[in-house]
Structure 1
């Protein structure tokens, strides 16, 4: 069984300095990681999901046991669940027959074009979802294998395999002469 480190113990008692340290260590990485994931709802920014994840973490920190580094995986897992809920909710909203292609098509084109400008997002977009998420966690925001497994809700072995495959695909796809474009942008 894991034990809480000093920072987590202090956070559980509501120590603002402990929360400030946790926030400084993980907030930026969380927003960057959420930016690499499709949200399904353009009205929900990665910063919004990250803020909601921090609120859930503050409410449920008594359920967490571990170190401040393990806290990152737990926090990212909360954010992943919130993002999935947001995606499901937005897909249900799009089923309204009154909303025709005129609303969806231009928004998708604008989003795809904006993502096409960002090289990292473009490269990650070429990967299957699991590989994209694993590479973004490990190489994008610096989580370790255990933290990535916790964040994504998969085993450490699955993380290692997806990381290896993702990096192999990126190496094969990325050459100086051939820029990466997200699937469907041609």
Structure 2
């Protein structure tokens, strides 16, 4: 008997033990396959944290423990070893989590206040948000000189040089604000 058939026989023995509910068999399966499964999940998660990989692995082990006869009943040793089967379960769990995250984001966007949706935002709200990013002096300059709002006392007293500096800063902040929010 070669090493592949020995490992298949060992996997079959462990599988039977798990189906009978033997703790030693579960411990051996977990000890043999958990580190490899976590490493695989970390790679599949594309840079996800080790904690996320552990969570996915825990979900796989929980599903196996709770539905051992169902899950192990679907296992086909001819298709590959137990590790390959565990990896397929992990891929399914990763896919379910990604789909759930996409659905959650979609629901949140749909339920978000109309003011927070860019297409529905009134110009007044955008202007108020932008003015909140300015310093008090820049805000006064913007309102009194650039926008000519009369309640700010007409033109603020600023020198030509200072006016140029304030205008440059306000316009730079405006461009940055608009680029970040588009």
Q: Which of structures 1 and 2 has the larger relative contact order (alpha carbons within 8 angstroms, sep 6+)?
A: 1
Write 1 or 2 for the structure with the bigger share of helix: 2
- The structure whose Rg is larger is 2
